[in-house]
Amino acid sequence: MTTGSCLCGTVRYEINGPYQWMAHCHCSMCRKHHGSLFGTTVGVTGENFRWLAGEDAIVHYRSSAAYERPFCSQCGSPVPHAAGPVVICPAGGLEDDLDAKPLAHIFVSSKSPLHEINDDLQRFDEYPPGYGTAMPTPQNPAVTAGGTALHGGCLCGAVAFEIDEQPRNLVNCHCSRCRKSRGAAHGTNFFTRLEKLRWTRGEDSIRTYKVPGAELFAVSFCADCGSSLPAPFTPIKRFIVPAGAVDTPLPIKVGINIWVGSKAPWFDLADGLPRFEAMPPMDRVREVMF
């Protein structure tokens, strides 16, 4: 048995093998919903899945006729959902070693230019042949041409923001909080100064969850669709911005991996970038993270 939960712990579940599949999905809907550069899911049959707590705290957002993207109403983390006979679980929410690893990349044709695939897993432009229906693409708000602002928002379009600052560093974070809140292998984030970001739409729909006892860590998400949004890290006067929430192409690539000591056991890190077991040393934080 492998247990899983959302970031705040309200929604909990357990799964058991045999797994039906495990794959990284690069579709634009996963990227928006998770706020990460790709999502990773594990499929199990209904008899190998059990809710332990918090089923009534789940908001069921339907992103297309065929697909639902439920999330925890308290913390926004993606949570499992049934699709026919199979329950699809965000691997980032799982707590123990599954003793299984992803076998493929799907929707590679929609991959973020920020992410390089560095492994030898099978790649499919969309679904593997013979599997399901084509994944529809979301109606993202048009990116306004001109100007230097970055534009972003959530999957359902209720919330939008602009950032008047180009990021200097893009960081993969493997800490358990990022993995749970994004429901992904890791978060990919950058920081921007508080005064450089403004909400252009839907500020009333933003919910923020701060981890009790954590000095900094907070997540923000859309109350309607659960997508990860920039969250204030007020003590350092910055927002942490999930790269998946940004629509404007970013001019930089991911530079480092942090909290690698907390990495998901099912994720092989093969990008060759500098890595830190936890936070970079304090005298380097400004240089490599801000």
> What are the residues binding Zn ion (CB under 5 A)?
6, 8, 10, 72, 74-75, 154, 156, 158, 173, 175, 178, 222, 224-225
CB nearer Zn ion, residue 98 or residue 178: 178
CB nearer Zn ion, residue 17 or residue 141: 141
Rounded CA separation 26/22 (Å): 13
CB nearer Zn ion, residue 6 or residue 29: 6
Collapsing DSSP to helix, strand or coil, 246 comes out as strand
Distance in Å, CB of 172 to Zn ion, minimum: 9
CB nearer Zn ion, residue 54 or residue 102: 54
Q: Do the beta carbons of residue 197 and residue 162 sit within 8 Å?
A: yes
133 to 41, 67, 68, 126, 127: CA distances (angstroms): 17, 10, 14, 10, 8
Distance in Å, CB of 29 to Zn ion, minimum: 12
Distance in Å, CB of 187 to Zn ion, minimum: 5
Whether a cis peptide bond, with omega within 30° of 0, leads into 18 is yes
Rounded CA separation 133/108 (Å): 16
Distance in Å, CB of 225 to Zn ion, minimum: 3
CB nearer Zn ion, residue 19 or residue 220: 220
What six digits make up the tokens of 38? 């790709």
Distance in Å, CB of 214 to Zn ion, minimum: 11
Rounded CA separation 146/155 (Å): 23
Rounded CA separation 21/100 (Å): 9
